[in-house]
Structure 1
Amino acid sequence: MDRPTLQDLLARIEQDLASRLEAGSALLRRSVLGVLARVLAGTAHGLYGYLEWISSQIIPDTADSDVLDRWASWWGVSRKPAAAASGQVTLTGTDGSVVPAGTALQRADGAEYTTDADATISGGSAIVDVTAAAAGQDGNADAGTTLSLVSPVAGVDSSATVATGGLTGGADAETDDDLRARLRLRVQNPPHGGAKADYERWALEVSGVTRAWVLPGWLGAGTVGVAFVRDDDADPIPDAAEVQAVQDHLDAVRPVTAAVTVFAPTPHPVDLTIQLDPNTAAVQAAVQAELEDLFRREAAVEDGTGSGTLRISHVREAISLAEGEEDHVLVAPTADITVAQGEIATLGTITWQAL
């Protein structure tokens, strides 16, 4: 039902009052009845607004965050909390100097990390585990990133460097849309003690995991392969620590007789050459955004049955959907994109040409 506007409600009430007055007794502009009509219209408008809000809470698709959490909890689905990034950093200084656990380091943008255990400088350096002080994706850092000690430590240089592997695993709290998607998966695919949908749901319960694929018989009879990606990270392909986190979670919930192998899919970059009209920076950016969305929505891990094939017609459609695009020719590739088993198609380099 469409919610009537305040003016519509006022007009209805004024007409109703006028119909009950003696003939010729029209409402005056500043009459008491005119004031009452406005008060009643405002009250009714507020009630309509409350009813409109209530109607949006009765189904998860439109429910507000707090109500959505209650809907999800009813089905045993909890919003994934933010996760803190962790990894190793290299400290340098005088041999024998000790860096105590809890020592704070800071990135140039202000992000802070603390050491997880005591570390002693030996051979001029020490590698120590650190964890981001604040949970969230912003805590992730590439290898080679420079950190600085917040407070001096005797015998230890003030600068530290993120070690090989970087600081990873940081993830923001789950969004409403992602929680709705997991709730829909739970409702439409009730648990079956190890069915294909169960493994997908279990993998998606881990913070940072955005898509997962279940590959029955991956290493033979009685085995299951599970691949996943983390689309919100700078690199959606998970590293070893992130793979182990999903493996640990699945090992805790899987049937005891199932042999589950969690792995990171191998990226298969797809380079494109596009003749574009108009070939401007704005249109190029719009096309790239549409293609990135396409690869996120449709690219799948190849399980050996063609599930990883990306249709070339869908690539052309994505380009055509870009705002400002008038015409284009997809020079390359010219056929459906197929990948090897265990691979996933990713957007590679785009070469732009004027049409």
Structure 2
Amino acid sequence: MPYARPTLTQLRQQALQDVLDGGIPGVSAVLRFSVLYVLSMTLAGLAWLHYGYLDWIAKQAVPWTATDEWLAAWGALKGIIRKAPSAASSPAVVFGATGSSIIPSGTSIILTGGLIATTTADSITLNGQTVAPAICTTTGASGNVPTGTSVTLSSPVAGIQTIGSVSKPFTGGADIETEDDYRSRVLDAYQDSERIGTEADYKQWALAVSGVTRAWVVRNGFGTGSVVVYIMLDSANAAQGGLPQGANGCADNETRYTTASGDQLRVANTLWNEQPVTPLVLIMSPVLQPINFVISNLGENNTSGNQKLITAALQDMFERVSGPGATISPNQWQEAIAAIGLSTYNIVSPSTPIMAENISSMPSLGTLTLET
């Protein structure tokens, strides 16, 4: 049973009552502006602050309610560090060019919204176009700009057009991990304290990489002695459906299989320093398997607001329960739609359990048809 902390009003009443019943000779009443009244209110206020401080101490004393640096301290005891923000990057920013002019490495580029990116290598000029890789100078998900975004050189380069565009999207930008997400990882670490290469360990190691929001582990997924880790970056790569951007494979130091690239390589290299020495660990991207939904008999519920709620509910359902090789039962999407509170509706399809086509396929929301 939780402790019932007294309110400030209760403490004030208690202080006055103690004065009256405390045996002070000749005191039968306390006037509002008397010295005794002022002292009673002051002591009640101090006691209320002390109760608040004790509440705060109790909150920081356990990892499931700790906050800020206290939560970080609990996480550090298990080697769980809050994920830092990361900067978005693109392998191809394109400008028109004449002759063989290049954009030198380190050149500043202005993106939409005032974001600044810097080229990370000298550009390659071919057929009237110069192409350079670039990375945002600031971290955060705001740097994830799509293909076709207009860009501008911050200072002219001879033989290069000032205005260009993003040929391949900026991806990988992520904000600092939220405290709630970090707390979940800390609690998972305390629940799985062995850290000897269990499925939970591989999942924790993958989720510790900036931008990674979901991970699944498949034993012997690529043959005996292998471990396959599927990852998703729902926020950092939202424009790509949350899929990692790169090639599937292993860490740089793994010589038994093809080296990964992009997001997969970042995760593979992180796991290399944590994993047991014998397994062949591959980091892979799931293959999305779109599932179309048809919902009829909405009647007056078929408004733009409800359409957004239905879409969000189904997307949330897939994010919570879907995964590589997953099977999703009808009651799971029925519950998601029922939670919206629509007066009438009928989910025409799907009507049978959704089954992944293979171990790499992950069911996701496809076309949503809403009928009155």
The alignment's TM-score, normalised by the length of structure 1, stands at 0.93
The answer (yes or no) to whether the contact 2:64–2:187 under 8 Å persists in 1 is no
TM-aligned CA distance change 1:119 to 1:281, over 3 Å:
closer
Say whether residues 1:9 and 2:26 are aligned partners.
no
Aligned partner of 2:349 in structure 1 is: 332
Matched letter for residue 288 of structure 1: T
**Identical residues among aligned pairs (%):** 37
User: Where do 5+ consecutive residues of structure 1 fail to align?
Assistant: 303-307
Cα deviation, 1:196-249, whole Å, max 9, x if unaligned, reads: 222111111211111111100112111111101112231211111112222222
Matched letter for residue 71 of structure 1: W
Q: CA deviation at 1:192?
A: 4.3
Give the 3-state SS of the residue equivalent to 1:98 in structure 2.
coil
Aligned partner of 2:319 in structure 1 is: 296
TM-aligned CA distance change 1:2 to 1:283, over 3 Å:
farther
Aligned partner of 2:245 in structure 1 is: 239
Say whether residues 1:139 and 2:143 are aligned partners.
yes
Matched letter for residue 332 of structure 2: H
Rounded to whole Å, the distance in 2 between the matches of 1:245 and 1:62 is 31
Matched letter for residue 133 of structure 2: D
Aligned partner of 1:347 in structure 2 is: 365
Rounded to whole Å, the distance in 2 between the matches of 1:111 and 1:263 is 31
Q: How do 1:88-237 and structure 2 match up within 5 A?
A: 88-119=92-123, 121-164=125-168, 166-232=169-235, 233-234=237-238, 235-237=241-243
Give the 3-state SS of the residue equivalent to 1:191 in structure 2.
coil
Cα deviation, 1:310-330, whole Å, max 9, x if unaligned, reads: 1110100110111x4223211
TM-aligned CA distance change 1:191 to 1:128, over 3 Å:
farther
Aligned counterpart in structure 1 of residue 54 of structure 2, from 36, 51, 55: 51
Cα deviation, 1:104-141, whole Å, max 9, x if unaligned, reads: 11122111100112336443222111111111111112
Give the 3-state SS of the residue equivalent to 1:33 in structure 2.
helix
Aligned partner of 2:339 in structure 1 is: 321
Q: CA deviation at 1:98?
A: 3.3
The answer (yes or no) to whether the contact 1:320–1:327 under 8 Å persists in 2 is no
Aligned partner of 2:88 in structure 1 is: 85
The answer (yes or no) to whether the contact 2:313–2:337 under 8 Å persists in 1 is yes
Rounded to whole Å, the distance in 2 between the matches of 1:191 and 1:125 is 54
Q: CA deviation at 1:168?
A: 1.3
Rounded to whole Å, the distance in 1 between the matches of 2:303 and 2:127 is 54
The alignment's TM-score, normalised by the length of structure 2, stands at 0.89
Rounded to whole Å, the distance in 1 between the matches of 2:348 and 2:123 is 56
Say whether residues 1:31 and 2:34 are aligned partners.
yes
Q: CA deviation at 1:347?
A: 1.5
Aligned partner of 1:305 in structure 2 is: none
Q: CA deviation at 1:97?
A: 2.3
Cα deviation, 1:237-287, whole Å, max 9, x if unaligned, reads: 111111222222223432222111211000011111113352222222222
Aligned counterpart in structure 2 of residue 69 of structure 1, from 72, 81, 89: 72
Say whether residues 1:311 and 2:332 are aligned partners.
no
Rounded to whole Å, the distance in 1 between the matches of 2:4 and 2:36 is 27
Give the 3-state SS of the residue equivalent to 1:226 in structure 2.
strand
Give the 3-state SS of the residue equivalent to 1:346 in structure 2.
strand
The answer (yes or no) to whether the contact 2:174–2:210 under 8 Å persists in 1 is yes
Give the 3-state SS of the residue equivalent to 1:327 in structure 2.
coil
Q: CA deviation at 1:22?
A: 4.2
Rounded to whole Å, the distance in 1 between the matches of 2:59 and 2:31 is 39
Rounded to whole Å, the distance in 2 between the matches of 1:116 and 1:318 is 45
Aligned partner of 2:252 in structure 1 is: none
The answer (yes or no) to whether the contact 2:124–2:132 under 8 Å persists in 1 is no
Rounded to whole Å, the distance in 1 between the matches of 2:124 and 2:317 is 49
Give the 3-state SS of the residue equivalent to 2:282 in structure 1.
strand
Give the 3-state SS of the residue equivalent to 2:221 in structure 1.
coil
The answer (yes or no) to whether the contact 1:82–1:171 under 8 Å persists in 2 is yes
The answer (yes or no) to whether the contact 1:95–1:120 under 8 Å persists in 2 is no
The answer (yes or no) to whether the contact 2:112–2:151 under 8 Å persists in 1 is yes
Matched letter for residue 68 of structure 1: L
User: Paired residues, what number?
Assistant: 347
Rounded to whole Å, the distance in 2 between the matches of 1:86 and 1:108 is 14
Q: CA deviation at 1:190?
A: 2.3
User: Where do 5+ consecutive residues of structure 2 fail to align?
Assistant: 247-261
